[in-house]
Structure 1
Amino acid sequence: MTDAALEVDATGLRCPQPILRAKRALNTLQSGQRLLVLATDPGSLQDFAAFARQTGNTLVEQSTDAAGVHRFVLQRR
């Protein structure tokens, strides 16, 4: 388990809601802190990779469980 300072449950939400919620949550964190995002939207796999590149935040971890829940850990720049 990654030491996330905050968790966002965006399961059941469609694009762009998971990214918007992650962006809002990241804005509350200090530099270096981590955010855990849970999402079920299949498009979120590409969305979070692009979001990390565009914002300069680091996508530390990305995985998908057997139930189809995608887990993203972002570290604030």
Structure 2
Amino acid sequence: MVAELLLEAASLMLIGMGAVFAFLLLLVFIVQLISRVMQRYFPAKATASNVVTTPGSSGPSAAVIAAISTAIHQYRQQQ
């Protein structure tokens, strides 16, 4: 009697765990599919945060530094 109940409990546990695993696996595949569809039909526009800098460029370019220096110089002259 007890052995039958334990066997039934084990089978119910395995069925339940299998159902949860199958649901989570299906959920992962659906999310991946939606991600691929969105990337294909609605691609993300390139923004400043998507731009990858090269390892050699450790700071702003010389033109940017010159523009900032000029702006600071002009601001200080107005004060």
TM-score where L is the length of structure 1 = 0.22
TM-score where L is the length of structure 2 = 0.21
Bigger Rg, structure 1 or 2: 2
Question: Quick check: which one's helix share is greater?
Answer: 2
